[in-house]
Amino acid sequence: MSNVSTQIDLMIARAKKAAEKFNGLGQLEVDRIVAAMTRAGVANERKLAEMAVEETGIGNVEDKVIKNHFGTQVVYDYMRGKPSVGIIDEDDSIISIAEPFGVVAAITPTTNPTSTTMFKSLIALKGRNVIVFGFHPRAQKCSEEAARIMLEAAVEAGAPADCIQWIAEPSIEATDALMKHPDVAIVIATGGGAMVKAAYSSGHPALGVGPGNVPVYIEKTACLELAIPDVIASKTFDNGTICSSDQSVIFDDKEVAQRALDLFKTHGAYLCNEEEKAKLEAVMFDKERGVPSMAIVGKRPQVIAELAGFTIPADVKMLMVPLTTTGPEDWMSHEKLSPVLGWFIVDSREKAISAAVCQLEFGGAGHSAVVFTEDEEAAKEFALRVPANRVVWNHPSVHGTIGALYNDLVPSLTLGCGAMGGNITTENVGYKNLLNIKRIAKRKAA
């Protein structure tokens, strides 16, 4: 047995003991623990944001502060007062009883390291689960600090020791051993496609997510004064690192498209020509792996342009490139994880929706899509046809898909993509996904 396997065995053994103790706590005790964790997370949201940017070089501090606040306070506000222990629902025929899964193995990304760590800790402990993390190696230090803050607050509020643990020396071998350990009950994975696939092949139930590659359909009746600022706010948030950030805007009318592009420029976008687009493509992708290059992920547009060999004004918020198609033949229609957005113009609703479908099918099936329109029938047709499990209507993609801010979706930093994306759920993953619910079924009256 390797040293790594031995270390994972010891961690899981401690986790099992913690889970046994946690299982004896009641709802009030659990809620007190989760509330204390939330307060600690909020108190440290700026420090953790600064650590994440310093360690990873991805995104920006102010937006990561917002992410950390969302992953703690907003998530807690949604869970507050909701039952997660014992009998959680009862009607005339069915009594629902919540029990913990047990040991949760959690994988976190480099793009949203501290917010995802705190979010997963909260939803796990809300259901009396314990959690063991495998952090992305490029975000180990900040992720450890987020987990430590959550752990200390939880234990001080009455949670068992070792309810939150993490791999101290990250490696593929260690993460694989964690996910495949026989005493792990469920895996919740957020990260690259290879890691999510590994989670689903671990032999355990798994909650994973697929890539986004979100299309935005700006239909001819759309209020452009609403749509364009919303798209920019979403696409530039934390320099485009959230998986549900916009990747292409699709227009069904040439005149509307021109007015929209003018507004994009007015609001801080830089419209690239074909030569600049080609230069961007050359530096933005690892084409062998089919993913964005880490050199551009979460970087400012000025940095990306400089890498590509041209300069842009200091006040530019994002880059925009013309697309020849929304299919894989045009690399700039792939997921970009940066403040770079494609635009594509067709001449009908049918073609626009087909373009959105194409973009999702090759690079983001099951994830999310956006439509701006004042025509309800157009919105419904779009939603019925696109292979996306979250369709955001007339609000920004990032802020809409993660839930709670603009709508009543469950607030989450793990967005399920369903069967289309190779995932087990279509939902915004929350604490309920980490409850093992059994049911007492009463006999019906004759």
Look up residue 47 and give its amino acid: K
Strand partners, 103: 130
List, in order of start, the domains of the chain with CATH numbers: 3-209+427-441 (3.40.605.10), 214-403 (3.40.309.10)
0.85 exceeded by pTM: yes
Which pairs count as long-range contacts for 390-393, CB under 8 Å and 24+ apart, including other chains?
A: 390/244, 390/415, 390/428, 392/368
Kind plus residue range of the DSSP H or E element containing 51: helix 45-56
Taking only the tens place, the pLDDT of each residue in 165-223 is: 999 999 999 999 999 999 999 999 987 777 778 888 888 999 988 789 999 999 999 99
Residue with tokens 């101290």: 168
Predicted pLDDT of residue 1: 54
CA distance 402 to 159: 28
Nearest to 25 by CA among 127, 118, 121: 127
Catalytic residue among 142, 163, 243, 358: 243
**Separation in Å, CA 180 to CA 27, 133, 185:** 31, 13, 10
- Contact indicator for 363, 214 with CB cutoff of 8 Å: no
Taking only the tens place, the pLDDT of each residue in 415-442 is: 999 998 888 899 999 999 999 999 999 9
Question: In the predicted model, what is the mean pLDDT of the chain?
Answer: 96
- Spatial CB neighbours of 20, under 8 Å, sequence gap ≥ 6: none
Ranges of the chain with pLDDT below 70: 1
Which structure tokens are listed for 446? 């004759």
Q: Using CA atoms of 323, 327, 329, 332 in order, give the dihedral in degrees to the nearest 10.
A: 40
User: What phi, psi does 254 have (nearest 5°)?
Assistant: -65, -45
Look up residue 2 and give its amino acid: S
β-bridge pairing 186-189 and 206-208: parallel
Sheet holding 94-100, edge to edge: 86-90, 94-100, 435-441
CA distance 233 to 216: 13
Taking only the tens place, the pLDDT of each residue in 82-122 is: 999 999 999 989 999 999 999 999 999 999 999 999 999 99
Nearest to 259 by CA among 206, 233, 221: 221
Predicted pLDDT of residue 136: 94
Known catalytic membership, residue 358:
no
